[in-house]
Amino acid sequence: MNPSWQQGKLRELSKEKGIHVSAWSALGAYKVTWGSGAVVENQILQDIAAGKGKTTAQVALRWVYQIGSSAMAKSFNKERMTQNLEIFDFELSEDDLDTIKQIPQRRQYLGDM
Ligand SMILES: NC(=O)c1ccc[n+]([C@@H]2O[C@H](COP(=O)([O-])OP(=O)(O)OC[C@H]3O[C@@H](n4cnc5c(N)ncnc54)[C@H](OP(=O)(O)O)[C@@H]3O)[C@@H](O)[C@H]2O)c1
């Protein structure tokens, strides 16, 4: 789950049933065989991030946190690991959250591999 595959129906059902949702591939598995740039290179997230002095990855992870889920992001890079934890010193506004809702949805696994 991530801003480009928001899993609205699943989250609604999980909420109803009291099930916590965790987001795998919260950064859209950027530069990974099974992933894409749909999150990290997303223009809407880039615009929000620029306005806050943050990165698109941080905005994506903050979005996961603010909708009440938990994110599992992977990095082999020390700086990006640190960056991915620095999401508690800013907030996404209601407007930001509404804008993120408009991001065109794209299934993570397209079945083309
Ligand atoms: N059990 C399952 O079925 C399942 C399925 C999917 C995922 N998962 C788990 O979920 C976790 C994450 O999934 P994932 O690895 O598919 O995808 P992900 O965390 O969405 O993306 C990882 C990619 O993003 C890059 N990255 C990390 N932080 C970044 C940042 N701040 N800015 C730019 N790029 C950044 C990483 O590169 P660098 O390493 O170079 O930073 C890596 O190429 C993993 O622990 C995985 O095992 C489990």
Which has more confidence, 4 or 106?
4
pLDDT band at 113 (very low <50, low <70, confident <90, very high): low
User: CA separation (Å) from 79 to 3, 51, 54, 82, 86?
Assistant: 22, 21, 14, 5, 11
Q: What is the pLDDT of residues 13-60, one digit of tens each?
A: 999 999 999 999 999 999 998 889 999 999 999 999 999 999 999 999
Range of the domain at 43: 8-101
Q: Does the residue 110 lie in any domain?
A: no
- Ligand 1 site residues, Cβ closer than 6 angstroms: 24-32, 35, 40, 55, 57, 72-77, 80, 83-84
Tell which residue, 56, 37, 30, 36, has the closest CA to residue 45.
56
Closest atom of ligand 1 to CA, residue 76: 39
> Are the CB atoms for 100 and 65 separated by under 8 Å?
no
107 Cα–ligand 1 center, Å: 16
pLDDT at 70 over 80: yes
* Residues forming beta bridges with residue 70, ordered by sequence position: 22
Instruction: State the pLDDT confidence band at 111, using cuts at 50, 70 and 90.
Output: confident
Asked whether residue 106 is assigned to any structural domain, the reply reads no
Q: Is 93 exposed, middle or buried (0-12, 13-18, 19+ CB in 10 A)?
A: exposed
By alpha-carbon position, which residue is closest to atom 39 of ligand 1? 75
Burial class (CB in 10 A: 0-12, 13-18, 19+), 100: buried
In a domain, 23, yes or no: yes
Residue nearest to ligand 1 atom 45, measured at CA: 74
Number of structural domains the chain divides into? 1
